[in-house]
A and B are shown apart, each in its own frame.
Chain A
Amino acid sequence: MARAMLALTIVAVPLAGCAGKRERPQPAAAKAPPVPYARDPYPSTYRAYPGVPTLVRNVTVFDGEGVRIDDGSVLFADGKVVAVGRALDAPAGAQVIDGQGKYLTPGIVDIHSHLGDYPSPGVQAHSDGNEATAAVTADVWAEHSVWPQDPGFGRALANGGVTTLQILPGSANLMGGRSVVVKNVYARTMQAMKFPGAPYGLKMACGENPKRVYGTRNQKPSTRMGNVAVDRQTWARAAAYKRKWDKYEKEGGDPPERDIAMDTLRGVLAGEILVQNHCYRADEMAIVLDMAREFGYKVTAFHHAVEAYKIADLLKANGTCAAVWADWYGFKMESFDGIGENLAILDRAGACAFIHSDDANGIQRLNQEVAKVMASARHAGMPVTPEHAWTWLSIGPAKALGIDRVTGSLRPGKMADVVLWNGDPFSVYTRPEKVWVDGALLYDANDPRRRPVSDFELGQPGMGDVK
C-alpha cells in the first residue's frame, strides 16, 4: 500500500502534460481536456546533509524489524544503510566506531506530534494546532502552521533519538485537516524538513474533544451521535465530490468547482491519504470502523487508543493499527480505563500496535515508554523481547505513515536514520550518544557543536546548554 501511494504522489503532476499530445484536431463540441489539480503544491525541498561512510561494529543491533544481532556491525554510506551483519569490513576511508557496550537502532519514528504547531514557548501567538472554528476543517494543512524553529525538535533528536515525526492538527475538530511528515532536521523552511514522498494523513477525532469544543458553543456536534452525524454527512459530500472529479479527470469538460477540504477527503477515498484517527474508547473505534466501511475508506491508525486492548480482535480483522501511550490514564473520562499492558495485549493478539507521544516532553523518551510496556507485559506473563519491542518504535509507525519502504529499520538501501545508544536503550540510565539522519551525524553527545540551537534559543538564557 505504501509503495502505491508514494508512486501516486509522483505521477499525479506529470499527467497534466499528456493533454497536449493529441494528434487529430478535436471537433468544436469536444470536451476540454482534463487538468488535474496539483497533489503536492508545497513540495519537499529536504536534502540530506553530508555524511561520511561509517561502520559501527562490536555493537548490539536491534534492526527495527525484530532482529537482534549481538557483536553486530552496521555500515552506512551516501545516506543509505549498506550492510548489516556480524563482522563487516570497513571500506577505505570509512569512519569506524567501536560500539562495545552500546546499542545501535533505527531512528525513532513518532507518528503523533504537534511540534512546530504547538511549539515552545507555548504562548497564544504560537497556538497553531487547532483551527477550532468549525467542526470540519479538512481544508487546513498542519504544514502551514509548522514553525521550523521549535526548540522541541532539537530535544526530540538529542534526548529521544527521534529522526522522523508526523505533525498533526489537534483534536478539537472531527476532521482537523492534513498532517505532514517531517525529518527531524532543522531547516529554515517547513518544506526543507518535509519527508520526501511521504503520503499525507487526515487527522480525525472522535469522542469528547469535538463534542466539548462545539457543544460549549451550542453548535453541532455536542454529543457523540452528533460527531458521527456530521462525519457521515461530510463523507457523503466527499463521495459526490470524488465522483465529479473522477469523471472530469477521466473525460475532461468543464472542471468542477474546487473545494480544498473535499480535495483531502477525496484523497482519503482514493487511498492516497491515510486516516489518523484520534479515538480512545473501544466502542467508538468500532463505530468508526463501520463508518469507514460505509463510505469506503480505511482507518490506518487509531491514535491514543486507550481502550484498544478491549477490541484487539476487531482491530486485527480490519487491519487498523493502534498508536498508544505506555501508561497515560485517568486524565479524562475516555481515558479512565487506560492500563499499562495495552500495547502488549494488542501485539500478542496479532493486531498492529506501536507507541506514540503526542507530547513535546514524552517524545524525548519513547524508548523508555516502550520499556515500561515491556515491564508491564512481563509482569502480566507476556514477556516481549527487546528486539521485537523496537518494532513499536520504528517500523510499526513507519508502516502506518506509508514510509516503511524507505525508513524504520536497518535494512540495506534504506535511509541511514540511525541512533547509537550509550547502553541498553530500554534502561532508564541510557541516552542517545549519536544520531544520524540520512547518514549525516546531527547529534553527538560528546561534541557540543553537534547539538542544535534553534533561532529562538540563540542569544537567550541557557543557549547551547545540554538541555
Chain B
Amino acid sequence: MAITGGTVAIGDGSAPVERGTVVIANGRIVAAGRGVAVPAGAQVIDATGKWVAAGIVSAMSDLSLIDADGVSESNDVGARNSPYKASIDVSVAVNPAGVKVANERLGGVTRAIVSPSAGGSIFAGQGAVIDLGADADAVTRPRAFQYVELGEDGGRLAGGSRPAAYALLRDSLAQAQDYRRSPAAFDGRSGDALLKRADAQALLRVLDGTVPLLVHVQRASDIRIVLGLRRDYPRVRLVLVGANEGWLVAPEIAAAGVPVIADALADLPIAFESLAATESNVGRLRAAGVRVGLMGGGTQSGDHVLRQFAGNLVAITRIPGATGLEWGQAFAAITSGPAAAIGMDGEIGSLRPGRRADVVLWDGDPLELSSAAEAVWIDGRPQPMDSRQKQLRDRYLVPVEGALPKAYERR
C-alpha cells in the first residue's frame, strides 16, 4: 500500500515533507518521505492536501485499564491493598474493547505506554505497551518497564518522607540481589517479608537492564539523587517521569543519557517539588540534548490531547524568553520520543523503515486544533472510524425524540 501526495510527518524529529509518499507492506513501514517510489501493484491512496503522520504514542496512559476512572470497580490502575508491588503486571488487565480505546483511536492515538499507578508502595509495578487496534490482540510488549514513585508522593507512600522512600528503594534492590544469590535462603513468602519473591524477580529485570526503570520525580534535587542510583547499579536503564524542574539540571540529565517523559504544560508550582515548573521545561531539556517524550495519559480530556500539548510547545517558540520545540521535534515528542524512552523506537513511534505501520491520515496539520483523523492504520491494518462517542453524537445531533424513544435509535 502506498499513501501518496500528502504532507508526511515521520515522527523522528525531522520536519514534515510536502508531497511525500508512505509505503506499507506486511504491517511494516517500507519507506516514507519525498521521492519514495510507489511499488508496482501497490494499492494507492491519494492524500493530496492532507497529512500522513506517524500514529501518536501516549505515554503513562491508563487506556484499556479503566472504563471510568472514578468507578473503582472498573479501574485496574492501582492496587492500594495488594501485598504485591513491583511484580504487579498490568498486561493481564488490558481490555481492547474498552470504549475509551476506540474514542482515542479516532483522535489519532495508535499505541499507548500503559502504566500502573503506585497505590500501596513506591513500586507501582510493570507497565505494558499496547496498540489501539480494533482486535483482541492488544499487548505489544508486556512487562515493558517498572514504575517507581519517588519525590513527595514516594515519601508519602513509603511512610512519610523522602529518606524513607530511598531506604525502601535501596533495600528492595539489595534484597533482589540477595534473592539472586540465594533463592532458597530468601524469605519472600512470610508475612514479614518486605519483598515477595515475585517482586524480587521483577526488580532483577530492572537491575539487569532488561527493562527500564521509570522514576517519577519533579524536584531538581530529587533528579540528582535518582541519577546517582547508577553509581551503585550501573546497568539500570533510568527514565525520568515528570521532571517539572528538569530544566534546572538539564546538562546533568543529558550527560547521564537519561530520557525524560514530561508533562508539557505543567507550569504551576502545584507542589513544593515543582516550584520551577515552566512550559519551557521540555524545550530547554531538548536544547540540552535530552530525549523527551510527552505524557498526557490520565487527562480528563483523553489521550488525544497530546497533539494539543505538542502544538503548544511550538506556540511558545514565539514568546520572548520561552523555549519551545520546532514542529518536527514537537511531533517526535508524542511519537518516537516516548517510544525511545522505553527503548522501543526501533519498533514503534515513527514512519522510519521497519517500524510497525501505525499511520494516521489527517485532514490538516496533526498538531492543529482544527484537524481530525480521516483514516487510521495500526500494524498496517485499516481501523474502523467509529466509536461510542460518535454514536452518542449521532443519536443526539437532534436532541428531541422522534416517533420512538432515543433508545430505539441504533446509533
Contact = CB atoms under 8 A, between A and B. Distances in A.
Interface stretch (A17-25, A246-254, A285-293, A329-337): A329-337
Given A208-B70, A327-B302, A310 B399 contact: yes
B404 interface: no
Which residue, B69, B397, B399, has most C-beta atoms of chain A within 10 A? Answer: B399
Nearest to B406: A310
B275 A333 contact: no
B396 A329 contact: no
A371 B371 CA distance: 10
A442 to B, nearest CB: 16
B302 A332 contact: no
A455 interface: no
Contacts of A337: 392
A311 B399 contact: yes
B312 interface: yes
Contacts of A456: 269
A431 B399 CA distance: 35
Contacts of A431: 315-316, 318-319
Interface in A358-396: 360-361, 364-365, 368, 371-372, 374-375, 378-380, 382
Given A120-B268, A339-B392, A462-B276, A422 B318 contact: yes
A219 B270 CA distance: 32
A313 B69 CA distance: 30
Given A349-B399, A380-B397, A429-B315, A122 B392 contact: no
Contact of A339 (B265, B274, B393): B393
B267 interface: yes
Contact of A430 (B266, B315, B396): B315
Interface string A417-430: 00000110011111
B71 interface: yes
B399 A457 contact: no
Interface stretch (A106-114, A151-159, A268-276, A407-415): A151-159
A312 interface: yes
B318 to A, nearest CB: 6
B370 A345 contact: no
A416 B247 CA distance: 38
Contacts of B316: 431, 466
Contacts of A330: 66-69, 99-100, 103, 300, 302
A429 B399 contact: no
A125 B278 CA distance: 24
A380 B100 contact: no
A238 to B, nearest CB: 31
Contacts of A85: none
Contact of B371 (A120, A339, A360, A375): A375
Contacts of B245: 461-462
B156 to A, nearest CB: 11
Interface string A145-163: 0000001100100010000
Contact of A329 (B71, B278, B389, B397): B389
B308 A360 contact: no
A446 interface: yes
Which residue, B220, B268, B393, B397, has most C-beta atoms of chain A within 10 A? Answer: B268
B250 to A, nearest CB: 14
Contacts of A335: 68, 300
Contact of A333 (B71, B320, B367): B71
B68 A333 contact: yes
A428 B314 contact: yes
A428 B368 contact: yes
Interface string B362-384: 00000111111000000000000
Contact of A466 (B270, B311, B322): B322
A453 to B, nearest CB: 12
A201 interface: no
A121 interface: yes
A135 to B, nearest CB: 20
Nearest to A429: B315
B369 A462 contact: no
A371 B308 CA distance: 11
A218 interface: no
Contact of B301 (A327, A429, A430, A461): A327
Query: What secondary structure prevails in chain B residues at the interface with A?
Result: loop
B267 A159 contact: yes
Contact of B396 (A345, A374, A423): A345
Nearest to A332: B70
A95 to B, nearest CB: 19
A283 to B, nearest CB: 12
Contacts, number: 174
A466 B271 contact: no
A241 interface: no
Given A123-B272, A331-B300, A345-B399, A371 B279 contact: no
B402 interface: no
A365 B266 CA distance: 13
Interface string A178-194: 00000000000000000
Given A330-B302, A446-B320, A428 B311 contact: yes
A465 interface: yes
Contacts of B25: none
Contacts of B134: none
B400 interface: yes
Interface in B336-387: 367-372
Contacts of B172: none
Interface string A299-316: 000000000011111000
Nearest to A428: B311
A328 interface: yes
A294 to B, nearest CB: 24
Given A151-B269, A428-B367, A457-B269, A466 B68 contact: no
A257 to B, nearest CB: 41
Interface string B235-279: 000000000010010000000000000000111111110111111
B248 A461 contact: yes
Nearest to B298: A331
A340 interface: yes
Contact of B271 (A122, A309, A340, A379): A122
A466 B280 contact: yes
Interface string B55-71: 00000000000111111
Contacts of B308: 365, 368, 372, 428
B191 interface: no
B270 A427 contact: no
A378 B393 CA distance: 13
Contacts of B67: 330, 336
Nearest to B299: A328
Contacts of A467: 267, 277-279
B388 to A, nearest CB: 9
A133 interface: no
Contact of A461 (B275, B369, B406): B275
Contacts of A123: 271-272
A342 B120 CA distance: 38
A28 B157 CA distance: 72
Nearest to A454: B269
B35 interface: no
A428 B365 CA distance: 11
A313 B311 contact: no
A43 interface: no
19 contacts: A121-B271, A151-B269, A310-B396, A311-B399, A325-B301, A330-B300, A331-B300, A349-B399, A365-B265, A368-B369, A375-B370, A375-B372, A431-B319, A460-B275, A462-B278, A465-B278, A465-B321, A466-B321, A466-B322
Given A360-B270, A467-B279, 15 more contacts: A151-B269, A327-B305, A328-B300, A330-B103, A332-B70, A333-B70, A339-B392, A345-B393, A368-B312, A374-B370, A428-B369, A430-B315, A462-B277, A466-B320, A466-B322
